[in-house]
C-alpha cells in the first residue's frame, strides 16, 4: 500500500465525516484514496482517475435513476475508490441496482450529511493525504542523506545492506558483465526478480538486482529504489574517474620509461608500486602496428584506433587485469608492457603475441597488424631498450619477413645491426663487387640469378629446397649457380663469401643499397 494514500475506512474516521454512513460496498473499505473530485453533471466518462473519491449531491441523478449505476461501471473500469452522495440535500435515493453494483465492484457508496460543505470535506481529506506525503518525503530525504554520506565515505557496500533493509529483500550490485560486486548476505542469483540498470549518462555502468519487486503503489519503496540507483550511478562515476586518473598516470609513467629516464632504479620501483605497475622478475615490451589502407581518412583512423585499443584490452583480459599488462599509444603504434617470470618469459611473450594477434584478426579483420616483441629486461630503467627492440623488430621484419605478423627481436638481430650501420662504404663496396654485376646481367638477359643466389644463401646451399621454392628443376639451379660463379669469379659456397652475400642480401631487403 502507498503510505501517502488514505483508505475509505480511514476517511470515515476523520472528524469531519464521523456522521457519514456506508450505504453499500463495505467490502471496499480498504480502497486507497489519492484524489477527490466533485461531480454535478450526468456524465464523467473520460474524466475519472484511479483511486478517486467522487462527491455529489445527487442532483444530476434525479431525472436519471440509472446514472449512478453507469458512474459505478466507469469507476470500476479505471479503479475508482468510493462515491459520497448527499441523499438528504435534494431527496435523492441510491437505487437497489446501484447498491448491488457497489457491492459487486467493492466501491463503497457513502451517505454524506447534507450540512457538510464540499470544501470542508475536500480540505480535510487533502490535508490528511498531504501530511502523509510529507512524512514519506521526509523519510525519503533522510534515506537520501544517508545514501550520500555512505557514498562520500566510500562505503558503497553499506548502501546495499541499507537498501535491502528498506525494501525487505535481498539486494546486489552487479557490473556490466553481471558479476556481483556487493550483495546482502542472503543474496542468490537464482532469486533475482528485478534487474534495474545503473546509468551514468547514456551508458549502463552496472545493474541493481532485487529478489523481490516493490509494489508499484509503494511510493516510499519506489523513491528509495530511485535514490539508490542515483547514488550508485554516482559511485560508478567516481570509480570510473579514479580509474581513468590512475590509468592516465600509469600511461604517463610508461611513456617516461619508454623514452629513457635517468632516475635511480629504487625511485622508479617505488613509483611503479604506487601505480600498480605490472610486476614480475622480467619485463618486456610488445609493439602493435596497424597497417591501414593508404586511402583510410584521418578521422576514420581515430575511430579505428579506439576500436583497436578496446580489442587489445579485451584480448588481455580487460581492464581488471591491469596489474599484468599495460597499454598505451605512441604515434600510431600501440605499446604493451607485460611481466613474467624469468623461466617463463620467452613462452609467455609468444603466447601473449599470438593471443592478441588472433583477437585482432577476429575483431578487426579489415586491418593487417604487425607485432614486434622486445627482449626481456629486469629493470624499469631498461624498458626503453626493450621498446626500441620491439619497434625495430616491426620495422625490419616488414622488409625481410613480410609474410610474418609476429616478429621477435632475436629474428632480426643482424638486420638491426645493418640498420644502425647504414650505407657503410665497405658495405657499398661489397655490393658493387658481388651483387651489382648479377643485377645488371639479370636486367640485360631477363634471368633470375640474383633471386636464385639469394635463395641458395638463405637455404645454406641446399639446392633441392631452392628448386622447390623457385618451382624449377634442380639441374636448373645448378646451371644458374655455375653462371653466377663465372660472372663473379668467386666460389659462392666458400664460408667467407657466403657470409658477405648473406649480409648483402639482408641489406638489400632493408633498402640500404642502391638498386
Are 66 and 97 spatial neighbours (Cβ–Cβ below 8 Å)? yes
| Helix ranges, 40-193 (H) | 67-78, 87-90, 96-105, 118-152, 156-167
State how far the Cα of 322 lies from the Cα of 254, in Å rounded to an integer. 13
| Helix ranges, 153-278 (H) | 156-167, 219-258, 265-274
The pLDDT of residue 393 is 93
Helix/strand/coil for 409? helix
Domain map of the chain by residue range?
A: 6-127, 154-242, 259-412, 422-509
Please, which pLDDT band fits residue 138 given cuts at 50, 70 and 90?
low
| Mean pLDDT of the 301-307 span | 86
In 3D space, the residue among 347, 355, 348, 305 whose CA is nearest the CA of residue 328 turns out to be 305
Please, which pLDDT band fits residue 394 given cuts at 50, 70 and 90?
very high
**HEC letters along 136-149:** HHHHHHHHHHHHHH
State how far the Cα of 366 lies from the Cα of 70, in Å rounded to an integer. 70
In 3D space, the residue among 335, 333, 313 whose CA is nearest the CA of residue 322 turns out to be 313
The pLDDT of residue 195 is 87
pLDDT above 60: residue 154: no
Q: Which residues of 155-175 are buried (b: 16+ CB within 10 A; e: fewer)?
A: ebeebbbbbbebbebbbbbbe
Are 5 and 128 spatial neighbours (Cβ–Cβ below 8 Å)? no
Q: Which three cell numbers mark 396?
A: 625490419
Domain 422-509 superfamily per CATH? PucR C-terminal helix-turn-helix domain (1.10.10.2840)
State how far the Cα of 260 lies from the Cα of 413, in Å rounded to an integer. 21
* Segment of 59-73, 198-212, 245-259 carrying the highest mean pLDDT: 245-259
Helices vs. strands in the chain: H and E counts, helices first: 18, 16
- Residue labelled with grid coordinates 480498504: 30
Edge-to-edge order in the sheet of strand 194-200:
180-183, 171-174, 203-210, 194-200
Nearest-Å Rg of the Cα atoms of the chain is 42
Please, which pLDDT band fits residue 67 given cuts at 50, 70 and 90?
confident
Query: pLDDT by residue (tens digit) across 339-366?
Result: 988 888 899 999 999 999 999 999 998 8
For 6-127, which CATH class?
A: alpha beta
Phi-psi region of 212 (alpha: psi -120 to 50; beta: other; left: phi over 0): beta
Percent of the chain with pLDDT over 70: 90
State how far the Cα of 313 lies from the Cα of 290, in Å rounded to an integer. 15
State how far the Cα of 286 lies from the Cα of 370, in Å rounded to an integer. 10
Are 29 and 9 spatial neighbours (Cβ–Cβ below 8 Å)? yes
Count CA atoms within 13 Å of residue 74 on its CB side: 18
pLDDT above 80: residue 21: yes
Count CA atoms within 13 Å of residue 507 on its CB side: 26
What CATH number does the domain located at 259-412 have? 3.30.70.270
State how far the Cα of 225 lies from the Cα of 435, in Å rounded to an integer. 80
State how far the Cα of 76 lies from the Cα of 277, in Å rounded to an integer. 67
pLDDT above 80: residue 299: no
Say what the pTM is.
0.58
State how far the Cα of 225 lies from the Cα of 211, in Å rounded to an integer. 13
The pLDDT of residue 509 is 85
Q: Which residues are bridge partners to 210 per DSSP? A: 171, 194
The pLDDT of residue 445 is 93
Please, which pLDDT band fits residue 304 given cuts at 50, 70 and 90?
confident
Q: Own/partner pairs for 457-461, CB < 8 Å, 24+ apart?
A: 457/492, 457/498, 457/501, 457/502, 457/505, 458/502, 458/505, 461/493, 461/498
Torsion of CA 325, 328, 330, 332, to 10 degrees: 100
Please, which pLDDT band fits residue 108 given cuts at 50, 70 and 90?
very high
Are 343 and 264 spatial neighbours (Cβ–Cβ below 8 Å)? no
- Residue labelled with grid coordinates 639451379: 477
State how far the Cα of 475 lies from the Cα of 463, in Å rounded to an integer. 9
In 3D space, the residue among 194, 202, 118 whose CA is nearest the CA of residue 163 turns out to be 194
Are 316 and 356 spatial neighbours (Cβ–Cβ below 8 Å)? yes
The listed CATH number (3.30.450, 3.40.50, 3.40.190, 2.60.40) that belongs to domain 154-242: 3.30.450
Amino acid at each position: 500500500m502507498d503510505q501517502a494514500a488514505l483508505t475509505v475506512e480511514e476517511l470515515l474516521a476523520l472528524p469531519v465525516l464521523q456522521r457519514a454512513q456506508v450505504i453499500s460496498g463495505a467490502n471496499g473499505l480498504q480502497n486507497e484514496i489519492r484524489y477527490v473530485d466533485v461531480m454535478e453533471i450526468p456524465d464523467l466518462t473520460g474524466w475519472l482517475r484511479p483511486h478517486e473519491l467522487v462527491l455529489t449531491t445527487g442532483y444530476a441523478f434525479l431525472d436519471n435513476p440509472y446514472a449512478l449505476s453507469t458512474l459505478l461501471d466507469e469507476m470500476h473500469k479505471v479503479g475508482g475508490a468510493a462515491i459520497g452522495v448527499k441523499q438528504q440535500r435534494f431527496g435523492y435515493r441510491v437505487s437497489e441496482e446501484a447498491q448491488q453494483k457497489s457491492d459487486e465492484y467493492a466501491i463503497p457508496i457513502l451517505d454524506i450529511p447534507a450540512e457538510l460543505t464540499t470544501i470542508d470535506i475536500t480540505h480535510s481529506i487533502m490535508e490528511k493525504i498531504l501530511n502523509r506525503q510529507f512524512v514519506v518525503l521526509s523519510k525519503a530525504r533522510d534515506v537520501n542523506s544517508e545514501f550520500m554520506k555512505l557514498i562520500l565515505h566510500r562505503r558503497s557496500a553499506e548502501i546495499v545492506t541499507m537498501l535491502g533493509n528498506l525494501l525487505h529483500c535481498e539486494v546486489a550490485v552487479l557490473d556490466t558483465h553481471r558479476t556481483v560486486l556487493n550483495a546482502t548476505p542472503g543474496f542468490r542469483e537464482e532469486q533475482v526478480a528485478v534487474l534495474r540498470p545503473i546509468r551514468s549518462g547514456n551508458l549502463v555502468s552496472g545493474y541493481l538486482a532485487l529478489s523481490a519487486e516493490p509494489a508499484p503503489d509503494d511510493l516510499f519503496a519506489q523513491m528509495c529504489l530511485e535514490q539508490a540507483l542515483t547514488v550508485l550511478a554516482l559511485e560508478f562515476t567516481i570509480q570510473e574517474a579514479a580509474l581513468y586518473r590512475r590509468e592516465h598516470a600509469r600511461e604517463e609513467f610508461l611513456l617516461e620509461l619508454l623514452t629513457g629516464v635517468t632516475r635511480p632504479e629504487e625511485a622508479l620501483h617505488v613509483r611503479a608500486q604506487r601505480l600498480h605497475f605490472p610486476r614480475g622478475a622480467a619485463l618486456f615490451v610488445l609493439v602493435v602496428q596497424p597497417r591501414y589502407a593508404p586511402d583510410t581518412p584521418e578521422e576514420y583512423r581515430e575511430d579505428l584506433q579506439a576500436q583497436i585499443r578496446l580489442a587489445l584490452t579485451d584480448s588481455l583480459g580487460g581492464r581488471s587485469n591491469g596489474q599484468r599488462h599495460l597499454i598505451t599509444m605512441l604515434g600510431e603504434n600501440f605499446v604493451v608492457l607485460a611481466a613474467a617470470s624469468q623461466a617463463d618469459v620467452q613462452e609467455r611473450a609468444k603466447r601473449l603475441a599470438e593471443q592478441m594477434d588472433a583477437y585482432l584478426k577476429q575483431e578487426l579483420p579489415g586491418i593487417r597488424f604487425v607485432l614486434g616483441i622486445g627482449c626481456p629486461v629486469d629493470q624499469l630503467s631498461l624498458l626503453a631498450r626493450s621498446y626500441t627492440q620491439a619497434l625495430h623488430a616491426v620495422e625490419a621484419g616488414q622488409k625481410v619477413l613480410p609474410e610474418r605478423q609476429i616478429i621477435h627481436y632475436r629474428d632480426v638481430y643482424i638486420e638491426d645491426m645493418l640498420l644502425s650501420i647504414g650505407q657503410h662504404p665497405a658495405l657499398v663496396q661489397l655490393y658493387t663487387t658481388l651483387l651489382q654485376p648479377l643485377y645488371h646481367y639479370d636486367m640485360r638477359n631477363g634471368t633470375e640469378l640474383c633471386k636464385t643466389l639469394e635463395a641458395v644463401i638463405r637455404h645454406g646451399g641446399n639446392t633441392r629446397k631452392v628448386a622447390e621454392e623457385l618451382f624449377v628443376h634442380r639441374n636448373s639451379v645448378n646451371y644458374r649457380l655455375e653462371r653466377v660463379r663465372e660472372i663473379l669469379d668467386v666460389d659462392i659456397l666458400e664460408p667467407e663469401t657466403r657470409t658477405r652475400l648473406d649480409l648483402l642480401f639482408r641489406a638489400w631487403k632493408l633498402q640500404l643499397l642502391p638498386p
